[in-house]
C-alpha cells in the first residue's frame, strides 16, 4: 500500500499535517465515521489506521474498516473520540527521537475532556474552547479552524481560552498540536518526547 501511505505521510509531515491531511470523525446518529485526508473534500484510504482506543470506554458497540473510512457503531449519541498510537520499527528510516499520538473527536455537546489532549468547549455547543492536556487547560496554544468551504483561520489561546469564528453553516474541524518533553521507552526504542495532535469535528 505505497509503503503504508509513505509512512502515514511521514506521520502527517510531523504535524504540518501533511499538506492539510488529517484524521477526523463525522457522526450521524449512533454511527460515527473516521476519515483521513484533506478536509472537507478529499478522503484517502484508512487501512493503515487502527483507532483501537475509543472514548468513552463504554460507547463502542462495533467497528468496521472499509476502503476510505472506519465505521463505529455506538451505544449512544454523545461526544465520541479515538486515539491512534503509532508503532515503530527500529530499522525504519522514518524513525525520529520523538513518537506520535493522534486523537480525533466528534461533538461539542459536552464540556469535558475525553482524551489526554482534547479541544473542549467551555459550555455545551459553545464557540469558546479550552485546549486540555493531561486533565488541565493549557495557558497558550493555537487552534486551526477549517470551515465547510475550506476556509481556514488560526485562533490563539490566551488565558486558557480561544473563541473561534464559524461564519457558515455546516461541518467544521478544529486542529491543534502539542509536544510533551518526556524521555521514555516505547516499542523498546528510546524517545525524547511525544508529539500529540488532535481534531474536533462538529456541525454548526
Domain count, the chain: 1
Domain that holds residue 142: 2-203
Would you put residue 67 in left (φ > 0), alpha (ψ -120 to 50) or beta? alpha
Whether this model's pTM surpasses 0.95: no
Under 8 Å between Cβ of 157 and 142: yes
User: How do strand 152-157 and strand 117-121 relate by DSSP bridges?
Assistant: unpaired
Task: Render pLDDT for 32-71 as a digit per residue (tens, 0 to 9).
Answer: 999 999 898 778 889 889 999 999 999 999 999 998 999 9
21: cell is 491531511
Confidence label for 4 from pLDDT (cuts 50, 70 and 90): very low
Under 8 Å between Cβ of 37 and 8: no
Q: What is d(CA 74, CA 54) in angstroms, rounded to the nearest whole number? A: 10
Amino acid at each position: 500500500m505505497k509503503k503504508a501511505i509513505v509512512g502515514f505521510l511521514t506521520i502527517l509531515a510531523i504535524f504540518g499535517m501533511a499538506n492539510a491531511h488529517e484524521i477526523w470523525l463525522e457522526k450521524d446518529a449512533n454511527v460515527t465515521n473516521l476519515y483521513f485526508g484533506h478536509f472537507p473534500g478529499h478522503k484517502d484510504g484508512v487501512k493503515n489506521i487502527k483507532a483501537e482506543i475509543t472514548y468513552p470506554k463504554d460507547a463502542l458497540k462495533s467497528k468496521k474498516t472499509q476502503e476510505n473510512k472506519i465505521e463505529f457503531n455506538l451505544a449512544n449519541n454523545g461526544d465520541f473520540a479515538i486515539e491512534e498510537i503509532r508503532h515503530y520499527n527500529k530499522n525504519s528510516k522514518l524513525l525520529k527521537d520523538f513518537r506520535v499520538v493522534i486523537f480525533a473527536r466528534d461533538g461539542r455537546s459536552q464540556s469535558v475532556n475525553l482524551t489526554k489532549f482534547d479541544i473542549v468547549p467551555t459550555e455545551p455547543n459553545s464557540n469558546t474552547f479550552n485546549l486540555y492536556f493531561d486533565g488541565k487547560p493549557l495557558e497558550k496554544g493555537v487552534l486551526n479552524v477549517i470551515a465547510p468551504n475550506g476556509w481556514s483561520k488560526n485562533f490563539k489561546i490566551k488565558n486558557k481560552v480561544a473563541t473561534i469564528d464559524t461564519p457558515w453553516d455546516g461541518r467544521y474541524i478544529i486542529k491543534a498540536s502539542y509536544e510533551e518533553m518526556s524521555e521514555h521507552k516505547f516499542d523498546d526504542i528510546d524517545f525524547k518526547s511525544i508529539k500529540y495532535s488532535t481534531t474536533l469535528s462538529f456541525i454548526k
